[in-house]
Chains A and B, each alone.
Chain A
Amino acid sequence: MKDSYDVIVVGGGPAGSTAAKYAAMGGAKVLVLEKDREIGVPVRCGEAVDHEGLVQFIQPHKKFVAAEIRNFKLIAPDSTVVQPNIKGLGYVLDRKFFDYELARIAANEGAEIATKVYVDGVIKNDGSVTGVSVQYHGDRLFLKSKIVIGADGVESRVGRWAGIDTTVSMHDMESAAQVTAANVDVEEDTCYFYFGERYAPGGYLWVFPKGNKTANIGLGVAADRSKQKHALKFLDEFMAERFPQASVLTKIAGGVPCAETLEKTTMPGLMLVGDAAHQVNPVSGGGIISGMIAGKMAGKVAADIVKQNDMSLIGKYEKEWQDSLGARHHRYYKIKKVIYKFRDNDLDSIAHEISKLPQKQQTLGNIFKQAVIKHPTLILDVMKLFF
């Protein structure tokens, strides 16, 4: 580790490694700082991605793909199962190996990666971020950089230290718990989603298979509704009821910022990407691919800033994001707010109507139509998306 770089990336997840890769490809001297001792662990993620999203960055490979997904099953509160007719392909990743691979690729492009380095503050000069302070093996060091990219996840503090408020509202934070379990009998090409108050109020419960009778089984509860009963209790109850024979290989906690993207993701010398910028699909809670898309945008802009020595270019990143995925997430967020209003009996009746249709017509579009019938104000909310 040297004491000065062009770009310092805080956080070695998918968003951070992708930002580092593109900044390094653009000719910048890049350092990635990871607080944990190893890139890729602990995994705090359901690990599902779609094929189209993934191949924008990397071809699927058996070393980091645990399962191929071809079906969804949506389970209503009263156990009615809807299997939407979906043509796409998805994967459940092994994030440990996936993150490792992304970091390796960034390193091969010239980025330097350091683990077990805890960033405990940013250095500011005249209103600009000019570096970070870190704790490393008992020492406190000050590292200078032209640009800091905060890819420090849901627990991000880089933005807040610099003056950008990244606090997640209780309404938007999904308080999550997950096990990776063995001896789980599920269809190995199917992702299962359970909805309802008894599984996950204000969120959903997922079962994502990882091959050889293993699966990620987890849930997120909206933090403003987890006061009486916390995520782990919901999960323990579900495991005892649905998979009593399963053995737990890993148990983890997590938080997912199911919000709109922060209004402000940049300031002179600083860009925020991924969960740190709330760049998560607010409906699904998926953030791997969107974090990587933001990472790519930020990394390229960072390299341009360094090359042209022009900090005014920093706004390009924010504009590019907000004009593309940011705008889509804004629409999804409005849909989320409507879904949030559904109670168990609404969800049950939607599922009943859908399951009467022939299998071929059980599409996401028809599910949405039924949702509108059951909850007519939904159409108004959706209309608002277009006006």
Chain B
Amino acid sequence: MIEIHEDKCDLCGCCVGVCPENCIDLTENRISIEHEICTNCRKCEWACPFEVFEFKNEKVRLKAAV
């Protein structure tokens, strides 16, 4: 499970750019993640300049069947 520290988020979109599942939504003032699509790949966590993401469960999930 991923936790988003919204108070740290600058809404820059770096995470959206690297997210392979296209599951991060970024409006003018809000970031949200579609947890059922997220595979816990942690790319957003590594790419984020401001350390917004924190993964609680580190197991990578297989891609959900679409």
Interface residues of A (CB under 8 A from B): 35-37, 44, 116, 118, 120, 135, 153-157, 160-161, 166-170, 173, 175-177, 221, 223-224, 226-227, 230-232, 251-255, 257
Contact = CB atoms under 8 A, between A and B. Distances in A.
Contacts of B17: 154-156, 166-168, 173, 255, 257
A175 B47 contact: yes
Interface string B12-26: 111111111010011
29 contacts: A44-B12, A118-B28, A135-B27, A154-B14, A154-B16, A155-B17, A156-B16, A161-B22, A167-B17, A168-B17, A169-B18, A173-B14, A175-B48, A176-B49, A223-B43, A223-B47, A224-B46, A226-B46, A230-B49, A231-B49, A231-B50, A251-B10, A252-B12, A253-B10, A253-B49, A253-B50, A254-B12, A255-B13, A255-B47
B19 A167 contact: yes
A177 B50 CA distance: 8
Nearest to A135: B27
Contacts of B18: 167-170, 173, 223, 255
A253 B12 contact: yes
Contacts of A157: 16, 22
Given A156-B17, A157-B22, A254-B49, 16 more contacts: A116-B28, A118-B27, A154-B17, A161-B22, A167-B18, A167-B19, A167-B20, A223-B43, A224-B46, A226-B47, A230-B51, A232-B50, A253-B10, A254-B12, A255-B18, A257-B17
Nearest to A233: B51
A266 to B, nearest CB: 19
Contact of B51 (A116, A135, A232): A232
B46 A227 contact: yes
Contacts of B43: 170, 223
Interface residues of B, number: 22
Most buried by A among B20, B26, B50: B50
A257 B43 CA distance: 15
Contact of B13 (A154, A170, A223, A231): A154
Nearest to A115: B28
Contact of B14 (A36, A227, A255): A255
Given A175-B47, A232-B50, A155 B27 contact: no
B12 to A, nearest CB: 4
Top 10 A-B pairs ranked by shortest CB distance? A155-B13, A255-B14, A231-B49, A155-B16, A223-B47, A253-B12, A253-B10, A253-B49, A168-B17, A177-B49
A139 to B, nearest CB: 14
A223 B14 contact: yes
B49 A35 contact: no
B59 to A, nearest CB: 18
Contacts of A176: 14, 49
A307 B13 CA distance: 35
A3 to B, nearest CB: 22
A104 to B, nearest CB: 21
Contacts of B19: 167
A35 B13 contact: no
Contacts of B14: 154-155, 173, 175-176, 223, 253-255
A252 B46 contact: no
Nearest to B25: A120
A230 B16 contact: no
A155 B18 CA distance: 8
A124 to B, nearest CB: 15
A274 to B, nearest CB: 13
B7 to A, nearest CB: 13
Contacts of A175: 14, 47-49
A173 B47 contact: yes
